[in-house]
Structure 1
Amino acid sequence: MNQTAAFGEATLRATDRLDVTGGVRWYRFDEDRTQFFDGIFGNDDNGKTLVSNPGTTKANGVAPRVIASFKASDALTLNAQVAKGFRLGGINDPLNVPLCTQTDLATFSGRNSWQDEKAWNYEVGAKSRLADGKVSLNVSAYTMDITDLQLTVTAGSCSSRLVFNVPKAVSRGAEVELDAVPNEHVALSLSGTFNDSKLRSTLTSTNAQGAVAVVSGISSGNRLPSVPRVQGAAALTLRRPMLASQGFVTGSVQHVGSRYTQIDDLAAGFGAVDLNSFGKNTIGGPLTQSTFRFDPLLPAYTLVNLRAGLTRPAWDLAVYVNNVGDTRALLALDRERGTRARVGYLTNQARTVGVSLGFRR
């Protein structure tokens, strides 16, 4: 692997209130890799021969950035930014051909590598100080146009995981942050994010009978995976002198909206597992049902944490309760062999009560 890059940036003070910053990054990336596979699904002679899978990927380009910052007053600064970003391509694992149906083999074969992902980001925002500097308020809004978006999919019956490039996607949103310290005893922080991220392209495949189907939920208008539409957080800290120390109580709340784990969670029919897909080799029979159903949309969740203690120059002592409500948050969908072998949810830590003691020199 060889990677070369150069970056430069300069700031022009156009007026006493306006600064303009321009920068550019040039990059070049070359990778040659040979992957070795073995086992009964490794496309070899029943696991008797070690199989090598060579691959190569190359990328080069220029990523510019321009930032304008206008100081409207001592308490208000306005910002605007245009920037191009990128994410390097890579080499896919080979398909587990012995597992593939003919339809899936035709759909997912020939994708030995994936290309660079590129994005143009346009952002405006404001940073302000209120109440004689005791309150700060920051807001921003952005839109991002993405080309060759890299998405991980499970290759159907082939079980392999591949990275696809989707020609177009868009992400738009807004963020707000507020921090307030009205006096030495109280500190408050609030933040919130809204994001609307969608595909703008559809990938299809055609089977031997001429039927056209959408590949792995990659359809224009579908939400991007792992991106909640709404997120928010809040924290409040109260401090008071106590027992020759500084006593404190902190409470925090985190809210995360609904989201999907992978793009193929949005595929038609996903969420239903045929328990007889392995035929006579099904483990655990006789079965009481032929289909297992689940919801791939991860629901929103809210977590609350509390912490209280004493602080001195040389040490601090605190008791804490994390996940006060013992909320069971579904963080991601866990699957193996495209849900044929295993499907379940990854969850958060249950309610946890503890004591912490720290020393400083």
Structure 2
Amino acid sequence: MNTSATQKMDIQKVESSRIGQVDFDNLTFGSTFSDHMFECDYKDGAWQNPTIRPYGNLSISPGAKVFHYGQAVFEGMKAYKDDQGKIWLFRPEENFERINKSSKRMAIPEFPHDLFFEALTTLVKMDKEWVKSGLGNSLYIRPFVMATQVGVSASPSTDYKFMILTAPAQAYYTGDVKVIVADHYSRSANGGVGAAKAAGNYGAQFYPTNLAREKGFQQVIWTDDSEHKYLEEAGTMNVFFRINDTLLTAPVSDRILDGVTRKSVIDLAKHNNIDVDVRPVLVSELVEAAKNGSLKEIFGAGTAAVISPVSAFSHKDVVYELTKPEDSFSTRFKKELMDIQHNIGEDPYGWRFEVL
């Protein structure tokens, strides 16, 4: 692979920071960006001109292929600052591997490992004051790639732009969520791009999610595309079900994203001697467990929300309420994850990555 890993990065600093204009106590997730951003272009078969510059608008042709054929993938990561002022990432190698896996599925050239980490750590160090300490605070990191070749022929682009944006963040969801189990719309299909973080996956979810919100629910638990018999993901998160004291979750596949938080929850559960059953989970099984009282918890797991408990689900217009147990798995896992991320607790797994 031709790379620009040996090229010198061009660093352009802001004349004055915008940080003083930001109310960090009232952030809307993903809408306030820090001072700098990274960009790198793929042209003539190589990644070139790696640059960190002040955050700002791009100039791009309306004929760029990203607008016409959706060749775009992204990742979601976070940086955390502990009470001593050190900054940490959480399992960044997983995000690097997944964005290249997503890129490959979308016929986008893979990005070089060394350049990815140089760009990522340099950017976070430059905007270190935007990373606030305290549980729940973080710097959300959004690497993404898009097709920039001009032309509307239905073929893969020859040119791409790789970027990293960062945004200060607080908790993504506050409180528990109510969900609808899908019985018509699907997130993805066998042989499709459900396992990739392709931009179009998420755009296609908005309409059925809006329908759910009109009925008073915040998210959708997606089901398989053919029979809607199997439970797959919850909104933009992987989903777990606790039946009695066993934790169930669907296996990854063409349709289901291999979530970093999902992997971490499974490892935490095993470390806590909790039975984990990774297998296809039937909708009928969930409904029966809700009826007989063996369904103790449902929760989503993802980078933005970390752990998001579900207080009720609806299927075929029947609503099943859940009461969080005193020995809640979701509460335990969220605390253990956040303690690791914020360098409060021990990290026996080697998940923390020190930036500064």
**Structure with the larger helix share:** 2
- Normalising by structure 1, we get a TM-score of 0.23
Indicate the structure (1 or 2) with the bigger Cα radius of gyration.
1
- Normalising by structure 2, we get a TM-score of 0.23
**Structure with the larger strand share:** 1
Higher relative contact order (CA 8 A, sep 6+): 2
